[in-house]
Amino acid sequence: MKKLILFFLFALQYTYTLAQQDVIKTIAGGGREILNDVPATNSYIEPIGVVEDVLGNIYIAESYKIYKVTPAGILTHIAGTEPGYGGNLKPAVNAKFNQIQSICLEGSNLIIADAGNNVIRKIDSKGIVSTIAGTGVAGYNGDARAATGATLYNPTSVCADAAGNIYINDRYNYRVRKIDKQGKISTVAGNGNYGDYGYEGPAINTPISADRITIDKAGNLYIVGGRRLRKVAPNGITTTVAGNGANEGTYDGIPATQAYIGNYIQGLTTDAAGNIYFSDNQSHRIHKIDVATGIINTYCGSSAGYTGDLGLARNATLYGPYGIY
């Protein structure tokens, strides 16, 4: 079963399966100062994005720094020094980033949505950083050309598929774009217009308002924003899988398409079975959509707070959950 790593404003928490129940515990954060090469629970962190590699290392992104937590629980600083832009083709630990919003893995490469710099960057297995998309200037151009010559506008989310293609939520261009293995960029969803209604049809004709994206093992791309969660199938057709577009309502035990989804979704992921999870920063909960039934329920969290370690995840209190994996 795929593990879920959940973020909270001042603590990173992790859920796992125990006796058929989902139990929550803290694996990083909780300290009073930023420390390096210490047990992760002894250090202070402000997590935004998270991902885990095949060896069990967990990567945690803050606004302009990235840390690694080893399977032994030791936290190490691996990238970023201060807000800015610089350090390409040099060790990432000395590089500058600005408003990191999301990270993912493509093979052994760590991909970074460096939103404040309007670029996508990569840290390779040797720890060297480079820019793989964007010029640093906000804008929209470059499709069908090298991604390094394209312009982006506040890229806030990244994910990668099994073939090694990288997807970008090009937020203020109201598009989702793809970097293929040859480094060329194209648009796969969004027509450049803001839209928060339930259009269904070819994804490139769809007005979108996207906050986060993810892709499942079957190649379905999920886009959340504008009080709806949409799916772009491999054939390029988009459908609504959750959210009724309303400003308020319920979200437990009903078909996900009838549920209320707020405008504060800051994390989105799927598990090996294709079930969908998203974090609601406003309600302080993680929701799950069962792919077999289409029913949505609260998976983790009950209200704002920080309680519940080693108890059932649904009974825990969370505060502003952000990235999940």
1 has pLDDT over 50: no
Same domain, yes or no, for 164 and 89?
A: yes
- Displacement of CA 109 from its chain's centroid (Å): 16
Residue 147 lies in a domain: yes
The parent domain of residue 264 ranges over 210-324
The per-residue pLDDT for 2 is 53
Question: Global pTM?
Answer: 0.92
The average pLDDT across 300-325 equals 76
Of residues 283 and 89, more confidently modeled: 89
Q: What percent of the chain stands above pLDDT 70?
A: 93
The average pLDDT across 23-27 equals 77
Length of the chain in terms of residues written? 325
Residue 2 lies in a domain: no
Closest C-alpha to 66, from 18, 19, 5, 127: 127
146 has pLDDT over 60: yes
Point out the domain boundary residue: 154, 189, 224: 189
The average pLDDT across 267-279 equals 92
203-220 pLDDT tens trace? 999 999 899 999 999 999
Same domain, yes or no, for 29 and 166?
A: yes
Give the number of domains in the chain. Answer: 2
3-state SS class at 43: coil
Residue 202 lies in a domain: no
165-201 pLDDT tens trace? 999 999 999 999 999 999 999 999 999 999 877 788 9
Instruction: List phi, psi (to 5°) of 100.
Output: -60, 135
Same domain, yes or no, for 117 and 221?
A: no
Same domain, yes or no, for 227 and 185?
A: no
Same domain, yes or no, for 63 and 175?
A: yes
Same domain, yes or no, for 42 and 151?
A: yes
What gap in Å lies between CA 93 and CA 148, rounded to an integer? 22
Which DSSP string corresponds to 206-272?
-----SEEEE-TT--EEEEETTEEEEE-TTSEEEEEE----SS---SSEEGGGS---S-EEEEEE-T
Residue 8 lies in a domain: no
21 has pLDDT over 70: no
| In contact, 65 and 80? CB cutoff 8 Å | yes
Same domain, yes or no, for 171 and 62?
A: yes
Same domain, yes or no, for 179 and 220?
A: no
| In contact, 24 and 69? CB cutoff 8 Å | no
Residue 260 lies in a domain: yes
The per-residue pLDDT for 41 is 84
CATH code, domain with 276 = 2.120.10.30
Share the mean pLDDT of the chain: 88
215-257 pLDDT tens trace? 999 999 999 998 999 999 999 999 999 998 887 777 889 999 9
The per-residue pLDDT for 4 is 57
Same domain, yes or no, for 181 and 216?
A: no
What gap in Å lies between CA 5 and CA 38, rounded to an integer? 20
